[in-house]
Amino acid sequence: MSGHSKWATTKHKKAAIDAKRGKMFAKLIKNIEVAARTGGGDPAGNPTLYDAIQKAKKSSVPNDNIDRAVKRGSGAETGGADYQTITYEGYGPSGVAMLIECLTDNKNRAAMEVRTAMSRNGGSLADPGSVSFLFHRKGVVIVPADQEGKTVSEDDVLEATLEAGADECNDLGEAFEVVSEATDLVSVRTALQAAGIDYDSAEASFVPDNKIELDKDGAAKFFRLFDALEDLDDVQNIFANFDVSDEIMEELEDA
């Protein structure tokens, strides 16, 4: 999820303990399987697989499930599906631009389900290329401020990552978001590890050039659409150019 990062990190925490945990696990497992199929089953030589495994471990996916996904993807074990990546473009309530990444073994099913979720929740699909130009592919690393008893500061994070290619570091409250060129993602993540700084996730994301500020009503409608899309098994990632103030976020969380 890219957009209002503080909201995204809150959602990530809640997802680890709520009823959707099984669905989240399935999506993380699928990521691992596809990464292993694309770049091989050795995390040391496949940074995408390494990061997919790390993210799954951070979300408490059992090691047995992770190992089996690697084996299925690399061909060491049978049973892997032939997943394809498809990105749908569209607009949500208040004109929010959206990129919806799917990993699916059935393109027709994915297209129908995404279209239905969009139309039922105030969104609409758009032609390929009509939305994607509003985003750029970036490397995004989320670093928790609380590191097992010690606290890292923005200066600590910047000091560790600037020479490795970090472009900016955003304070999200309980975490920092380090943004770099997608090609510098691995070197930024490696620099954090070398400095003894832990991270929650490291992945290539679509970051919007500009954001649309949503009021309470607009935010509520957008989050309803986001939840409907996130609930689909084929939907892997959703990127959107929205922003919501902390005050409105608190009002919505209390509602």
Average pLDDT of the chain?
88
Give SS3 for 132: helix
Q: Which of 122, 109, 77, 133 is nearest to 223 (CA)?
A: 122
In terms of Cβ atoms closer than 10 Å to its own Cβ (0-12, 13-18, 19+), residue 254 is exposed
pLDDT of 31 above 90: yes
Looking at residue 141, its pLDDT comes to 94
Looking at residue 1, its pLDDT comes to 40
Query: Could you give the CA distance from residue 81 to residue 92 in angstroms, rounded to a whole number?
Result: 31
In Å, how far are 20, 72, 187, 202 from 205, measured between CA atoms? 23, 25, 16, 9
Is residue 27 within 8 A of residue 236, CB to CB? The reply is: yes
Helix (H) or strand (E) holding 169: strand 166-171
Q: Which of 35, 10, 26, 37 is nearest to 61 (CA)?
A: 26
Looking at the DSSP bridge assignments, the partners of residue 243 are 213
Single-letter amino acid code for the residue at 154: E
Query: Could you give the CA distance from residue 164 to residue 180 in angstroms, rounded to a whole number?
Result: 9
How is residue 16 annotated by DSSP?
A: T
In Å, how far are 168, 202, 240 from 193, measured between CA atoms? 18, 12, 29
The domains found in the chain, sorted by start residue, are: 5-74 (1.10.10.200), 84-133+210-245 (3.30.70.980), 136-208 (3.30.70.980)
Is residue 230 within 8 A of residue 121, CB to CB? The reply is: no
Q: pLDDT tens-digit profile of 6-17?
A: 555 555 545 545
Q: How many helices (H) and strands (E) does the chain have?
A: 9, 12
What does the block give as tokens for 193? 């590890």
* Residues 53-73, mean pLDDT to the nearest whole number: 92
Is residue 1 within 8 A of residue 51, CB to CB? The reply is: no
Looking at residue 80, its pLDDT comes to 67
Place of tokens 């990061």: 51
Q: Which of 186, 145, 151 is nearest to 169 (CA)?
A: 145
Looking at residue 3, its pLDDT comes to 44
Looking at residue 82, its pLDDT comes to 82
Looking at residue 2, its pLDDT comes to 42
Looking at residue 149, its pLDDT comes to 81
CB atoms within 10 A of CB 138: 19
pLDDT of 247 above 90: no
Looking at residue 238, its pLDDT comes to 93
The residue ranking higher by pLDDT, 24 or 129, is: 129
Give this prediction's pTM.
0.84
CB atoms within 10 A of CB 253: 10
User: Alpha helix (H) ranges present in the chain?
Assistant: 5-15, 21-39, 47-58, 63-74, 107-120, 154-161, 185-194, 216-230, 246-254
